[in-house]
Structure 1
């Protein structure tokens, strides 16, 4: 395994593995025994960065979520896990009532919600401090300053370490960071967005945003990350739920003119390296001009083992140039 440091403050920064394990479906679609087996194998391989959210996975049973955090808490206790594993969770997108969703009834990012939701997450995970806490979705009903100050209070109290944002427009991330900097408060240091080798169409509405322009690393966010290298990008859904191995699963969201050429380039590099297409995608993300920590969810240990094979896969400059130029 390889590692990198996230965060800049010596009091809160952490060294994490370059491959993050997504626990979204642990405790619901992925049963406890399988979840434990994946977690155990990940730690055995040197993995140290586990990701979840307080709303995972409400859509599986029509509830409000929390099952993933609860399972991780049980696993931690059963394995005697301490602070050697970095746990990241999110708040802001938990449905306020069963049978609703984050689209029409989210908890939001008020100071009250931030405090109460973070406390519930700590209890479910069984930790004194959440290593990394994200604002899961934008909340335009609450002043940005209130959100910034609400997160900062938890950091000051020692119940939260690093702060992050997920699925926010770049200008809103910068506004929040500027407010925090001006007030001498901790700000977002980790950004979690969808990023993969194939870019999605921006004219197709998504579950996160009907405008189709939030939640993924587009040109604006990529430019922002290049200009702010101290920020860490965590890339979720990098393998498009298995669609690289089975392109028929791509659907309309990736029906762009350049998609066939990029898939052909990906296949050629995989053949040259003896790697799988999934491993090439992960290696491309790890070493890109905007380096990312891929966040990958698995339903089996075999899938995890395939992804682990990407950690030491080095693409040549020529192979990377070919991948980047395909369109």
Structure 2
């Protein structure tokens, strides 16, 4: 178990991504995945109010609704649920009334009295940051949210958020959710230092680079794959990207785990990372995620993966 920032949220060191629930995993498949994750010790679930508004016929909130139904059905103890605001079609941006209304809607869909970890999903340049920080602080003061966090914010804006929160005397964020994986390491240049400076934990998304780091996509031609993410993952299958997979496979084999598990273990070994986010659209994929949370790489293995991934093949 690992603690998120300065909070009292002590979580399994991997968050189950809820972006697939109601999208590539229907309700029954989602329940199977959640059951398997929880049975394996998982207790940290990540979602957003906008999942999966991009699907034809969806309005957003489908993932939260499925998670809420699962929580009501199973009544699991000690589960931490994180969700986000700013991208739901009905609750765009981070103006104070929007933040409040979106949080209340998420609470209703999730069927809980309090959101454990509430992220500002994307920065909103049109709303004064002071207004957003105060709105998040009010949610904590009023008991709707336990802890706040930020996702997809620049280092400077994170520092500014914390400064404003301290001036206002309201809750400060405890976590940052950035894009971070073996083929996207720019986070180390700016976000990791600010996390270290402010005592924040990283909960990285795209931990498996849209599936590329599972080793499934070894060609830049995604036409043979039917997966919604195949095209995005295949873009990483450059000669350099394939070198990463070679080292990743060797490291995984040394521990008797998959490449996906090894990739997650590498992220967990990085400074300030508390729990990578990874999703499963099939219950058969859950064991690899669980293994990624319990496999500890040696310093030499981390160094080997660091060396082979020093470059970034694409700005994705």
Calculate the TM-score normalised by the size of structure 2.
0.87
RMSD: 1.9
Give the distance between the partners of 2:279 and 2:288, measured in 1 at CA: 12
Distance in 1, matches of 2:33 and 2:286, equals 7
1:69-218 aligned at under 5 Å gives the runs 69-81=64-76, 84-96=78-90, 107-199=92-184, 217-218=187-188
Distance in 2 (alpha carbons) for counterparts of 1:15 and 1:218? 24
Look up the match of 2:197.
227
Separation in 2, partners of 1:154, 1:137: 18
Q: Aligned pair 1:325/2:307, yes or no?
A: yes
Q: How far 1:73 sits from its partner (Å)?
A: 1.3
Partners of 2:126 and 2:57 in 1: how far apart? 25
CA distance in structure 2 between the aligned counterparts of 1:184 and 1:219, rounded to whole angstroms: 29
- The alpha-carbon deviation at position 137 of structure 1 amounts to 0.5
Unaligned 5+ segments in structure 2 are 220-229, 311-316
Matched residues, number: 295
Contact in 2 for aligned 1:114/1:150 (Cα 8 Å)? yes
- What's the secondary structure of 2:126's corresponding residue? coil
Where 1:293 maps in the other structure, the secondary structure is: coil
What's the CA shift for 1:62? Answer: 4.5
Mapping for residues 249-264 of structure 1, pairs under 5 Å: 250-252=233-235, 254=236, 258-264=240-246
Q: Is the 8 A contact 1:29 1:60 kept in 2?
A: no
Runs of 4 or more, structure 1, over 4 Å off, are 255-258
8 A contact 2:212–2:234 mirrored in 1: no
User: Cα deviations across residues 237-294 of structure 1 (Å, max 9, x unaligned)?
Assistant: 2112322212325444x37774343333222222333322111101111112343411
Structure number with greater CO (CA < 8 Å, separation at least 6) is 2
The answer to whether the 8 Å contact 1:285/1:292 transfers is no
Structure 1 gap segments, 5+ residues each: 97-105, 201-215
- The CA distance in 1 between the partners of 2:86 and 2:147, in whole Å, is 16
138-147 vs 14-23, greater mean Cα deviation: 14-23
CA distance, structure 2, for counterparts of residue 125 and residue 281 of structure 1: 30
